[in-house]
Amino acid sequence: MEILSIAVKVNGQSHRLQTFPNRRLLDILREDLFLTGTKEGCGIGECGACTVLLDGEAVNACLILAPQADGKEILTIEGLAGEGSLHPLQKAFIDHFAFQCGFCTPGMLMAAKALLDVNPSPSREEIRQGLAGVLCRCTGYTQIFEAVEDAARVLSKIASASSTPRKEESR
Ligand code: FES
Ligand code: FES
């Protein structure tokens, strides 16, 4: 089988990789780049554990073949936190006990990020629909939905604080 050369930007870092065309984005992330935070559950697009952002859109990495990722930007769970600080979604998941075994959590967080990127203030129903592609066998979902609502509030406070001009200090 022919070997392909593909270029991907993962969590802000550019990589050129040699790969067989039938390998999946999930394989490239976990086996070539050692980004094992992205999990494989079903391997057939059913569970969402492998959710990553591909050019900003939530996708199942087990369903994307290497040539489809060529030239694209990918964000995985390893790229979600900022320098030295958790992303508000990660913090909210901890605060709300929104995981148990944690196997679905990277996929949940990435799907939640994709949702809040386009809908910063989603209703409970919109969160339910936004996360519908990721299955959790442990939590019962309520804490996950509450965590996403909490993170949405925090992110909107951060956004409004950064868009408000600072008052000049008066003495
Ligand atoms: S491992 Fe990709 S959807 Fe289940
Ligand atoms: S926390 Fe176990 S599958 Fe979701």
Residue-wise pLDDT tens digits, 134-168 = 999 998 999 999 999 999 999 999 999 988 766 55
Q: Is 38 in the pocket of ligand 1 (CB under 6 A)?
A: no
Please name which of 160, 159, 64, 155 lies closest in space to residue 113, comparing C-alpha atoms.
Answer: 155
Please determine, for residue 169, whether its predicted confidence score (pLDDT) is greater than 70: no
Q: What is the pLDDT of residue 53?
A: 98
Residue-wise pLDDT tens digits, 35-91 = 999 999 999 999 999 999 999 999 999 999 999 999 999 999 999 998 889 999 999
**Do residues 78 and 37 touch, judged by C-beta distance below 8 A?**
yes
Band of pLDDT at residue 170, cut at 50, 70 and 90: very low
CA atoms in the 13 A half-sphere facing the CB of 29: 31
* Ligand 2, pocket-test mutation among 40, 46, 94, 137, most atoms within 8 A of CB: 137
Show Cβ contacts of residue 129 under 8 Å, excluding neighbours closer than 6 positions.
Answer: none
| Three-class secondary structure of residue 87 per DSSP | coil
**Do residues 89 and 42 touch, judged by C-beta distance below 8 A?**
no
Reported CATH class of domain 88-163: mainly alpha
Q: Is 43 in the pocket of ligand 1 (CB under 6 A)?
A: yes
Which atom of ligand 1 is nearest to 62's Cα?
2
Please determine, for residue 12, whether its predicted confidence score (pLDDT) is greater than 60: yes
Please determine, for residue 115, whether its predicted confidence score (pLDDT) is greater than 90: yes
Q: Both tokens of residue 74?
A: 């990918």
- Domain boundaries along the sequence of the chain: 4-79, 88-163
Q: What is the CATH number of domain 4-79?
A: 3.10.20.30
Q: Is 45 in the pocket of ligand 1 (CB under 6 A)?
A: yes
Which atom of ligand 2 is nearest to 49's Cα?
3
Which atom of ligand 1 is nearest to 43's Cα?
1
